[in-house]
């Protein structure tokens, strides 16, 4: 298999020969990893569950973990699932990589489409599946919203959307997602939405919709051909728990569950216990949302940008993104991620991705430093 280098490896190579301005401490705005302590009640549950390390974890997940995920989806999206419509996963990275391989295995000439720019696991999964790729290009002219022609959709076996979107921060409405559900039924392809940023939003009236909601709205109450994935990593500032969800079409998930018993990626029981209390609590999530909301208020004040409705990313248009990245590192000791490292066929060129994942004090300082650079100071 010939995998592309990961974006962060490309960034290290780009900056390798540059000596940064040591008058500033390094500020890395590159990776989508929250820099806040995992809430104590989650840590306490993990510590109190270490005796359960003596048990092999079940591939299907502990019943109480599954129930906490079902509770979360009902409370957050108003969608009631049964146990056969959901599987806990070891984060979403592993499932985004192996689920396409599972569903495309029996296809003679598989075709997979996904949003571009993208989380690189999508591309890796396509390579591992020997799939032909159709890129769903997200550009300013289409408001970074996914669209393909019927002729392209007729060829697809699997489509991966990602809304709220990484890296562009774009959203699709429930009705827009519903149109995608209709197409998945009309042309009989599997439709996935990677929803791991669904809980990083800033206004209750603009909460991101789930593909599950959209499926019900268009009358697909059994979620035929519809799959969503979500994660605790961003929601609870707990990426180390490696706890994700795959939910939707129970006929697909029944067979996928058989596959997972061979993969061997079950989460250790203490991690499941800690994740259970995290999924069942909303107060700590609102606390994190307040921090991100303040960070984007600072970005509006300092950079003059319009904050997104969701995610913690700024998709900043800068011209030559490679030169911008190199010079910003050299002059201000700030790392950002060139958009061209996240896209293919020229998509992402001219942009950088900035992750606002620090506290208010650090965010204000680094945004002012970034503004000074842009202004030539």
Domain boundary among 238, 264, 280: 280
- Residue 61 and residue 162 in one domain: yes
Residue of 246, 255, 173, 244 lying closest to 214 (CA atoms):
173
Mean pLDDT computed over 157-185? 98
107 and 234 belong to one structural domain? yes
Do both 167 and 225 map to the same domain? yes
Which pLDDT score, from 0 to 100, does residue 377 have? 80
d(CA 215, CA 80): 13
Last residue of a domain, one of 280, 303, 324: 280
More confident residue, 273 or 204: 273
Whole-number mean pLDDT of the chain? 96
Both 116 and 260 in one domain: the answer is: yes
The whole-model pTM stands at 0.96
pLDDT at site 94: 95
Residues 109-140: tens digit of each pLDDT: 999 999 999 999 999 999 999 999 999 999 99
**Same domain membership, residue 65 and residue 208:** yes
Q: Quick check: is 44 in a domain? A: no
In a domain, 114, yes or no: yes
Q: Residue 79 domain-assigned?
A: yes
280-302: burial string, b at 16+ Cβ within 10 Å, e else: ebeebbeebbebbbbbbebbeeb
Q: Which domain holds residue 159?
A: 54-280
Residue 254: inside a domain: yes
State pLDDT tens for residues 20-71. Answer: 999 999 999 998 889 899 999 999 999 999 999 999 999 999 999 999 999 9
Whether pLDDT at 229 is above 90: yes
* Cβ contacts of 301 within 8 Å, gap of 6 or more: none
Quick check: 2 pLDDT over 90? no
Say how far apart CA 151 and CA 367 lie, in whole Å. Answer: 44
pLDDT level of residue 91 (50, 70, 90 thresholds): very high
State whether 253 and 293 are in the same domain. no
Residue 329 within a domain: yes
Residues 134 and 245 grouped into a single domain: yes
Q: Is 262 a domain residue?
A: yes
Total tally of structural domains belonging to the chain: 2
Residue ranges of alpha helices (H) inside the chain are: 7-15, 40-47, 63-77, 93-104, 121-128, 150-155, 174-187, 211-217, 232-235, 250-263, 269-279, 283-303, 321-332, 360-374
pLDDT at 78 over 90: yes
DSSP state at residue 133: E
For residues 190 and 257, membership in a common domain is answered with yes
| Segment 301-323, tens digit of pLDDT | 999 999 999 999 999 999 999 99
Residue with token string 């270490």: 50
Residues 231 and 306 in one domain: no
Q: Are residues 94 and 214 in the same domain?
A: yes
Helix, strand, or coil (residue 307): coil
Inside any domain, residue 45? no
CA atoms 307, 211, 104, 112: torsion sign: negative
Per-residue pLDDT band at 272 (split at 50, 70, 90): very high
Same domain, 346 and 294: yes
pLDDT in tens, 323-365: 999 999 999 999 999 999 999 999 999 999 999 999 999 999 9
Looking at 260, 280, 300, which one is the last position of a domain?
A: 280
Regarding whether 275 and 290 lie in a shared domain, the answer is no
Per-residue pLDDT band at 1 (split at 50, 70, 90): confident
Give the separation between CA 212 and CA 345, rounded to whole angstroms: 31
Question: In this structure, is residue 43 part of a structural domain?
Answer: no
Dihedral angle computed from the Cα positions of residues 36, 283, 199 and 185, in that order, rounded to the nearest 10 degrees: 150
Greater confidence (265 vs 81) lies with 81
pLDDT digits (tens, 9 = 90+) for 137-150: 999 999 999 999 99
Query: What CATH number should be reported for the domain holding residue 364?
Result: 3.90.1150.10
User: What's the CATH number where 216 sits?
Assistant: 3.40.640.10
CA of 239: how far to CAs of 42, 90, 345, in Å? 12, 10, 31
CA 224 – CA 191 distance, rounded (Å): 9
């Amino acid at each position: 298999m010939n995998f592309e280098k990961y974006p962060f490896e490309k960034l290290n190579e780009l900056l390798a020969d540059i000596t940064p301005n040591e008058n500033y401490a390094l500020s890395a705005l590159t990776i989508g990893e929250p820099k806040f302590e995992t809430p104590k009640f989650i840590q306490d549950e993990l510590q109190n569950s270490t005796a359960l390390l003596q048990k092999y974890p079940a591939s299907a997940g502990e019943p109480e973990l599954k129930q906490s995920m079902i509770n979360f989806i009902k409370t957050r999206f108003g969608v009631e699932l049964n146990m056969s419509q959901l599987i806990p996963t070891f984060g979403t990275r592993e499932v985004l990589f192996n689920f396409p391989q599972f569903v495309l295995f029996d296809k003679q000439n598989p075709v997979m489409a996904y949003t571009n720019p993208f989380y690189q696991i999508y591309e890796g999964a396509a390579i591992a599946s020997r799939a032909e790729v159709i890129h769903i290009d997200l550009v300013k002219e289409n408001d970074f919203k996914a669209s393909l022609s019927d002729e392209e959709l007729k060829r697809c076996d699997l489509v991966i959307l990602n809304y709220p979107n990484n890296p562009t921060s774009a959203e699709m409405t429930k009705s827009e997602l519903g149109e995608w559900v209709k197409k998945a039924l009309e042309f009989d392809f599997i439709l996935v939405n990677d929803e791991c940023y669904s809980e990083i939003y800033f206004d209750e009236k603009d909460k991101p919709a789930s593909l599950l909601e959209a499926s019900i709205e268009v009358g697909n109450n059994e979620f035929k051909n519809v799959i969503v994935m979500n994660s605790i990593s961003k929601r609870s500032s707990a990426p180390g728990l490696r706890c994700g969800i795959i939910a939707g079409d129970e006929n697909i998930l029944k067979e996928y569950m058989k596959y997972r018993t061979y993969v061997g990626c079950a989460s250790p029981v203490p991690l499941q216990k800690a994740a259970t209390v995290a999924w069942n609590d909303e107060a700590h999530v609102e606390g994190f949302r307040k921090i991100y909301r303040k960070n984007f208020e600072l970005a509006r004040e300092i950079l003059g940008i319009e904050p997104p409705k969701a995610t913690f990313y700024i998709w900043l248009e800068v011209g030559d993104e490679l030169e911008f990245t190199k010079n910003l590192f050299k002059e201000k000791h700030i790392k950002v991620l060139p958009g061209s490292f996240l896209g293919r066929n020229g998509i992402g060129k001219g942009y950088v991705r900035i992750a606002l994942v620090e506290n208010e004090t650090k965010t204000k300082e680094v945004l002012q430093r970034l503004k000074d650079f842009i202004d030539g100071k």
